[in-house]
Structure 1
């Protein structure tokens, strides 16, 4: 099976609900995507609405991967910087692959699609992303060509007494 990626898809209720379901599934499987399990769709909905509002406003772009049955199986958001001295790179965030598909190369496929999408954007020289320490995510992103360029120890508190590093990764596009 392969995933079919679409950059800037039409955001309709089915897509919105698919991303919401994916986000809850990834979080509840232990994924580091802005929440800590357990969560419900209602917990995530306000964050998703905020991100989709940014998509509608044009400051954020959405990349979605669908499986062979048309279900949302992967996502990444690319956000343009508003600071005039940092408009030459984008942030990738809410990078997710459905837990049932992990370990089969779909994460690498998603990151290749993120890179391809970023290369279509005028004036973009690099992609930055942040990841939560303690999951080994930095090794995955390094395998996709990213380099660790910053780390803030214990900057992310997932629970009392459980603080994780905030790691910044960079992929130059030139």
Structure 2
């Protein structure tokens, strides 16, 4: 049931419709402010699949300017390998387990999908020296809704994974 960016707290049982609080009309904006950062979704090649609109307040780049651009164009050259490692599904798999027998998607192994990396992002805001250190915390997850041209052009089989992270 679409709520047009409004999140109901309770339903009126008599008429079965949501009762909206006037303060909840801007829930998305309030939620982004409470993060203390912005949200990024990267595909397995490092392309920015999604960026929250508040990224402009942190880096000075408009959301539409960075969508579908490689994250590697936005970060310091010395941090690129760290990001590539984090995007690799095999990065945290224990070396004692053969990778072909290790099910990283099994619930007890989901900790191996968690990611945390610091990177220096280019920043267009006046009060910085050109780069801003950002902590990226998130998880590798299956991405849905990718264009078929992207999915068909991949060399590996299986789900298309991406890193969903909060950047603070």
TM-score (norm 2): 0.27
Greater C-alpha radius of gyration: 2
Greater relative contact order (CA < 8 Å, ≥ 6 in sequence)? 2
TM-score (norm 1): 0.26
More strand as a share of residues: 1
